[in-house]
Amino acid sequence: MILTKWLLSPHSGVCLPVGALSCQPREQWYNDRELLIHSGESGVNNRALSILQSSAFGICLDSEVVPKCPDDMDRRLWHNYGQNRWFDKPVQFIYFRDGRGGAFPRNSSEATKLIPLGK
């Protein structure tokens, strides 16, 4: 709930990526999701969450990012600092501006393996 309250309150140009909420414990994520659904104007949050949650996987187009080195690419594939990721999807396919990309599977047994994809 702390993350959601922070997300919904006005700040001086600091934004918390909403995808970061999806990496919380399930019960907390459920409570925060309910808060988001009921806080949006004209049901916009509800529609956005419905679209995200009805998808089988995520495709993340990081058009403004080019990883600088292999470690940077791993970090961006793994969590991207909470931006442009939805952590409760079975798999996310991530592509960067330079055409490189990878896949991030959710399950812990697979999550230790980032799967690089070629151009």
- pTM confidence score: 0.68
Residue 58 CA to residue 26 CA, distance in Å, equals 19
Q: Is 1 helix (H, G, I), strand (E, B) or coil?
A: coil
Each domain of the chain, given as residue ranges in start order, spans 1-54, 56-119
pLDDT per residue rounded down to tens, the chain (119 residues):
555 555 555 554 555 677 777 778 888 888 888 888 887 677 888 888 888 888 888 888 988 888 898 888 888 888 777 778 887 788 889 899 998 888 888 765 544 555 666 55
Angle between helices 44-54 and 26-39 (to 10 degrees): 140
Q: How far is CA 87 from the centre of its chain?
A: 5
Identify which of 65, 89, 90 has the alpha carbon closest to the alpha carbon of residue 75: 65
